[in-house]
Amino acid sequence: MANGQIALTLLMGVLLVAVAAFLTRIEDWRSYTPLAGGGGGTAEESGYAHEEKPGGLIRWLTTVDHKDIGMLYGTYALATFTIGGLMVMIMRAELLDPAATLIESTTYNGLLTSHGITMLFLFGTPIIAAFSNYFIPLIIGADDMAFPRINAIAFWLLPPGALLIWAGFFVPGLAPAQVGWTMYAPLSVGVGAGTQSGAGVDLMLLGLHLTGVSATMGAINFIATIFTERAEDCTWANLDIFSWTILTQSGLILFAFPLLGSALVMLLLDRNFGTTFFAVEGGSPILWQHLFWFFGHPEVYILFLPPAGLISLILPKFSGRKLFGFKFVVYSTLAIGVLSFGVWAHHMFTTGIDPRIRGSFMAVSLAIAIPSAVKVFNWITTMWNGRVRLTAPMLFSIGTISNFIIGGITGVFLAAIPVDLVLHDTYYVVGHFHYIVMGVLGFMTFAGLYYWFPIFTGRMYQRTLAKWHFWLTFVGTQLTFFAMLLLGYLGMPRRYATYDFPIGPVDPVTALHQVATLGAFLIAIGFVIHVWNFVQSWSEGPILEDEDPWNLKEIGQYTREWEWHHRRMETAIADGGDEEVATDGGKESNEEELTTDGGENVSETDCSD
């Protein structure tokens, strides 16, 4: 113990000295020009201060540029998506047969918990932040985010958060948390004989707390940016749909995440310092569920609204029409944002809470279906009679709409108390929410990555590979998650490593689990193709000389971020190339994705289309 303390002290001392040495090497303490008002990024240009960023690794460690931070978020999110995906592939392989053959059930539980938390907190929120960091300032005509440094802090909190969340797997002597992503008390308080009282759970809670702090900082930044940093001609009346959804989402984060943070601290106090917030004889485990779901339901809309905004943004571009009923799409976004705070107890219908409370929560939950349906109808009408071009981003958007219909309707069923009493805690619930988290958030991630690929890289991806990716993902998603809905009807409970118990028909359950696993492998193959396509096209694809690869000018939808892209291309050519855009070798522009050409009837666009 004493030795450990000394070693820790030494380590910590070395770290602090190293940090201080590093800082004094790169930072001159007395050279700051006082910049009034702060805000950063707007420093007066003094003689030598003309470069934007240093080079190499230091650039990425110190950048406060919203585009770089967007790239960092994106890289991080794709890495965590891969890790969360690998976790679930092990679980799906285990579920191929009824008994626990591949891994122990405790390992399964650990993977299950980590998969859920990884996908929701380490992939979902960050990938949305990747798109919004990169594009919101460009779309609304801001120089950068309102607080560029806070933006960087918010990102850098995520890697330590991830390490803490996964610590149970790789730190010797710790066991991974097995409490599920909902961390229900009393299990999560450490009661019982399993590993749940170990430090692995504490570290996971700390990691979650950090990601919550990160999300909150990001949300404040987006709210401030959208309110105060818009260009003159970007008014509330013509604010674009993606910014509206990010604004609403940030509002939800602002009210939901601090609550999660406080609840986590209460849980940590219960676990380590003997408080009784969630003890059976104290505040009661039901209190945890109320606090958790008051955060948890808004959280699912935090993950849904921005992808919905991406659909509303991308769909019109490939339908040749403007978004149908723009105003109503905005209203429905706001309505969902408000209503989402009034439905949390639909996750608690089976806990024995007062039936009158249940009834009112059922009513509000059913009401959420209305704004959700408004969106779906507006999307369908946007495509109606349009000139639909089935590019990869468009395919993913259309696939998303169909997934959302299934995900949404199953949600309406679950919101009905009598149905939920039967289906609660079965695979039906798992199917329901995966149709949305994978079918909407996952799909729109890919749609956004393909749509803006030319802006990220100055090149075009390979169309055939992208189509393979789409079809594998789409078919895989249907197989996996529809099988789960059926498994739910058969009574298969969720969160089990085995199903050789005599409560139902084992054969059809086995068959459906195998279908689900098959689908999961299809999705995984599609993802490998996607990564390959991305990496290869980024490094070897032909340089795109067309500043309008999607022919948006023709339909009058050449939006600000593309104008910015165009300006950047021109500057790069004029300067003979800077580090951001490689211009050497000016090859033929690549038109493989283009289905139309001709008319350069450029129309003026404002920030709304």
Partner 1 sequence: MDEQPGLSEQYRRASPWPLFIALGLPIAEIGVLFGLVPLAVGGLLLFVGSVAGIVQESGYVERPWNLLVGLGGVLVVLGGALALSQLTGGSLDGFVSALGSNGLVVRGVSIVIAGAIALGVGGVARFVETEPI
- Binding region for Cu ion (CB under 5 A): 297
Report the residue number, 414 or 524, with the smaller CB distance to ligand HEM. 414
The residue at minimum Cβ distance from Cu ion is 297
SS3 456: helix
Backbone conformation region of residue 386, classed left if phi is above 0, alpha if psi is from -120 to 50, else beta: beta
45 interface partner picked from Cu ion, partner 1, ligand HEM, none, CB below 5 to 8 A per type: partner 1
Q: 64-84: buried (b, 16+ CB within 10 Å) or exposed (e) per residue? A: bbbbbbbbbbbebbbebbbbb
Query: Could you identify the residue written with the tokens 């981003």?
Result: 393
What is the C-alpha to C-alpha distance for residues 505 and 494, in angstroms, rounded to an integer? 16
Q: How far is the CB of 299 from Cu ion (least distance, A)?
A: 9
Report the residue number, 136 or 368, with the smaller CB distance to ligand HEM. 368
Three-state helix/strand/coil letters over 502-513: CCCCHHHHHHHH
Element (H, E) at 173: none
What is the C-alpha to C-alpha distance for residues 394 and 234, in angstroms, rounded to an integer? 27
- Near partner 1 by CB under 8 A: residue from 2, 3, 5, 354: 5
Give the residue among 251, 220, 437 at the shortest CA–CA distance from 340: 251
Q: How far is the CB of 180 from partner 1 (least distance, A)?
A: 22
Q: Does 37 sit near partner 1 (CB under 8 A)?
A: yes
209 interface partner picked from partner 1, ligand HEM, Cu ion, none, CB below 5 to 8 A per type: partner 1
Bond prior to 186 in cis (omega within 30° of 0): yes
Cα 495–Cα 497–Cα 503 angle in degrees, nearest 5 = 80
Task: Select from 128-136, 183-191, 208-216, 460-468 the region that touches partner 1 (CB under 8 A).
Answer: 208-216
What is the C-alpha to C-alpha distance for residues 508 and 486, in angstroms, rounded to an integer? 10
What is the C-alpha to C-alpha distance for residues 93 and 312, in angstroms, rounded to an integer? 37
Tokens matching residue 527: 């993802």
Q: How far is the CB of 431 from Cu ion (least distance, A)?
A: 15
Give the residue among 436, 444, 426 at the shortest CA–CA distance from 404: 436
Q: Does 21 sit near partner 1 (CB under 8 A)?
A: no
Q: How far is the CB of 16 from partner 1 (least distance, A)?
A: 6
Q: How far is the CB of 263 from partner 1 (least distance, A)?
A: 16
What is the C-alpha to C-alpha distance for residues 342 and 320, in angstroms, rounded to an integer? 38
Q: Are 70 and 133 in contact (CB under 8 A)?
A: yes
372 interface partner picked from partner 1, Cu ion, ligand HEM, none, CB below 5 to 8 A per type: ligand HEM
Sign of CA dihedral 262, 263, 269, 274: positive
354 interface partner picked from partner 1, ligand HEM, Cu ion, none, CB below 5 to 8 A per type: none
The contact set with ligand HEM (CB under 6 A) reads 182, 300-301, 303-304, 346-347, 365, 368-369, 372, 408, 411-412, 414-415, 420, 424, 429, 432-433, 436-437
Report the residue number, 351 or 595, with the smaller CB distance to ligand HEM. 351
Q: Give CA separation, 230 vs 138, 178, 225, 305, 557, in Å.
A: 10, 45, 7, 21, 19
Report the residue number, 204 or 368, with the smaller CB distance to ligand HEM. 368
Q: How far is the CB of 6 from Cu ion (least distance, A)?
A: 50
Task: Select from 10-18, 388-396, 450-458, 600-608 the region that touches partner 1 (CB under 8 A).
Answer: 10-18
Interface mask toward partner 1 for 247-286; x: CB under 8 A: ---------------------x---xx-------------
Tokens matching residue 371: 């704004």
Q: Are 314 and 447 in contact (CB under 8 A)?
A: yes
Binding site residues, partner 1, CB under 8 A? 5, 8-9, 11-13, 15-16, 19, 22-23, 26-41, 43, 45-46, 48-54, 58-59, 61-65, 68, 144, 148-150, 152-153, 155-157, 160-161, 164, 199, 202-203, 206-207, 209-210, 213, 268, 272-273
